[in-house]
Structures are given as C-alpha cells and as structure tokens.
Amino acid sequence: MKFNSATWQRLLPFLSLAALFVFLSIATPNFLTATNLAAVVRQTATINIMALGMTLVIVSGGIDLSVGAILAFSGTVGAMAMAQGLPIPVGIAVGLVCGLFWGFLNGICTTSLKIPPFIVTLGTLGIVRGVTLIISGGLPVVGLPRQFESLADGSFVGIPSVLLVLAVCAVVTHVVLHSTKLGRYTYAIGSNTEAAVYAGIPVARYTIAVYAISGMLTGLAGMIEASRLMTGQPTAGQGYELQVIAAVVIGGGSLTGGEGSVIGTLIGAFIMGLLSNGSDLLGVNPYVQQALIGAIIILAVAVDEARKRRFRQ
C-alpha cells in the first residue's frame, strides 16, 4: 500500500481514535484501567450493535430513524416475556423477533408504498414508541430473572460478554457486506438503484432484508439495554438514532448511499464512546460534551468529503 495523502485521509478516523486513546491514557489516571475500559465497552455496545445494522441501511441508500423506539419496544416486550416466567433465551429471542418485525415493516413501507425511508421511519418512530408506552402503561417492566444481568454485565474469560456479542455481530455483518450477494446488492442499490433494477436484481426484496436485519440487531441491542438496566424501559433509547447515524457517518458512511463499512462504523462508535467517557473523566461539563460531539460529526464528514472529492478528480 502506498502511503500517499489519500491513504492518510482514509486512515484518519482510525488515527483519531488511536490519538484519542493515547491522549486519554496520559491525561487521566483512571482511563487506562480494566474497569474503565470495560465500562466504555458496556456503554457503547448498544450503540455499536445498532450502528452495524444502520451501516447496512445507510449503504443501501436508506436511513432508519426508528431504531431508538424499536430498541425500547424490543427491550420492553422481551422483558415482559421474561417477567411472565419465560426462560431467558426465549425472552431474548422475543426481543430479536420484535426488532425483526418492525424492521421488516419499515422495509415493506419504503418499498411498496414508495415513501422515502426518512418519512417512513419518522412515522414508525412515533408508532413504535406509542405502542411501547401503551402496552407497558408507561411503566418500566420489572421482576426480571437474576441471571439475565449477565448478558450486559457478565464476563467470559475476563472479557465483557457484550464485547464478544459485538465482535460476533461485527464479523458476521462484515462478511455479509463484503462477501455475499446481499452485501453486494446493498452497495449496488445504494450506489445506483436504477442500474440495480436494470441488472435484474430484486431490489425491493433486498431492501426489505436490509431493514429487517437492522431491526433485528436493534432488537438485540434492546435486550442488552434491558439487561444493563435490569428493567424493560419503555422510554429507553430516546435520541439513540442520532448517535447511531453519527457513528456510521463518522466512519465514512455516505447518506447518499453506496459507501460505508463495518470497520469504519465501529471506529466511529468508539470515537463517540471515548469522547463521552473521556469528558466524564476530565470533568468536562456534560452540556459541553453534546456540543463537542456535534462539532466532531461535522468535522469528520467534512474531512471525508474532501477525501472523496480528491478521489473523484
């Protein structure tokens, strides 16, 4: 690989993450400790897993604003199942199916009603949140089995179990995106939908699949969130959609479709996670944190756009 300036710019998100890591290790005594790093991983796992699904959606040229609401719905319904006495694996499966269902519905609406996904998912964001509040009566679901805690807080040979779950999801998503028909078609649809139709690709079917997968990953994130809180919170995940989209975009995803990668997204999500954790450790005002993250998003995308412009010329 030639190390010209384009390569450097491509590596920039990764280098920023590394720089941030080194800076925080030096600047604060408590950053580089197993406890803190495990906490960072646990805090970011939810966003990270949702961002994997969002990467598929964004690469396909779509957007999903309803993921925060889907997270709450899945967590709440999965928790209700367990509170009713169903075994933990069944409860988790219920959460996944809930996410899959809403994702599927998002896909159906965008493809058959021909409504732009921004509008569809803005609508389902409201519907799903409303339904969640209705079925839960607005109250958190409590009385979950003790062992359910270990999904979010457990460890396996010293590694946080959520990190393992995230790693498995990331590897699978990466392979799907780069080495399967589904992944190739996702890029093709996002780059040029019409050309994809003209090549005989069943565009609607694959688009629905992409939203369904994203929904299912969000369902999983919902169960992790429920495990972390040990309640099914009908109000969980508010505003998560923006953090998730930000992670994909910081990692090089393009909202016009056709661009984005799992590795980029993970870096994007971890940059945001470290910023938030580091600000806490450094005692930065949380209000300032919000503004900071907003500025980082704009900066990251500006740099990425500059790289793409050079590439095009």
Partner 1 sequence: MLLDLQGIQKHFGGITALESGDLQVEAGEIHALIGENGAGKSTLMKIVAGMLRRDGGVLRWRGEVVDFRRPAEAHQAGISMVHQESLLAPHLNVAENIFLGREATKGPLLDQGHMEDEARRLISEHGFPLDAAARVQELSPAQKQLVEICRALNSASSLLIFDEPTSSLSDAEADAVFRIAQNLRERGMGIIYITHRLAELRPIADRVTILRDGRTVHTGPTAEVSTDQIVHHMVGREVSSIYERDNHAPGAERLRVDLPNIQFALHAGEIIGVAGLMGAGRTELCQTIFGITPAAAGSISVDGRPVSINSPRDAVRNGIGLITEDRQRTGLTLSMPISANVTLANLDGVTRNGFISRTAERSVAERFRKRLHLRAASVDQPVGRLSGGNQQKVVIAKWLFRDAKILLFDEPTRGIDVAAKAEVFALMDELARAGAAILMVSSELPELLQLADRILVMRDGAMVTELPCSTTQQQIMQHAAVAS
Contact between 188 and partner 1 per CB under 8 A: yes
- Tell whether residue 258 is a contact of partner 1 (CB under 8 A): yes
- In the bound state with partner 1, the residue whose beta carbon lies nearer, of 235 and 256, is 256
168 binding partner 1? (CB under 8 A): no
Q: How far is CA 211 from CA 94, 102, 239, 247, 255, in A?
A: 18, 9, 19, 18, 15
Min. distance of Cβ 51 from partner 1 in angstroms? Answer: 22
The stretch near partner 1 (CB under 8 A) out of 26-34, 163-171, 196-204, 293-301 is 196-204
What does the per-residue mask of binding to partner 1 show for 124-163, with x meaning CB under 8 A?
A: ----------------------------------------
Beta strands 155-156 and 159-160: pairing type?
antiparallel
Q: 156 - beta bridge partners?
A: 159
Q: Which two tokens stand for residue 273?
A: 């996670």
Q: Which stretch binds partner 1 (CB under 8 A): 62-70, 103-111, 199-207, 268-276?
A: 199-207
Per DSSP, helices labelled H in the chain are 5-27, 34-59, 67-83, 88-112, 117-136, 150-153, 161-179, 181-191, 193-198, 203-229, 240-250, 262-282, 286-312
**Stretch touching partner 1 by CB under 8 A, among 37-45, 72-80, 160-168, 183-191:** 183-191
Place of tokens 């199916």: 97
Beta carbons within 8 Å of 35's beta carbon, 6+ residues apart? none
Residue 198 C-beta: closest distance to partner 1, Å = 5
State the residues that interact with partner 1 by CB under 8 A.
175, 179-181, 184-185, 187-188, 191-192, 194-202, 258-259, 310, 312-313
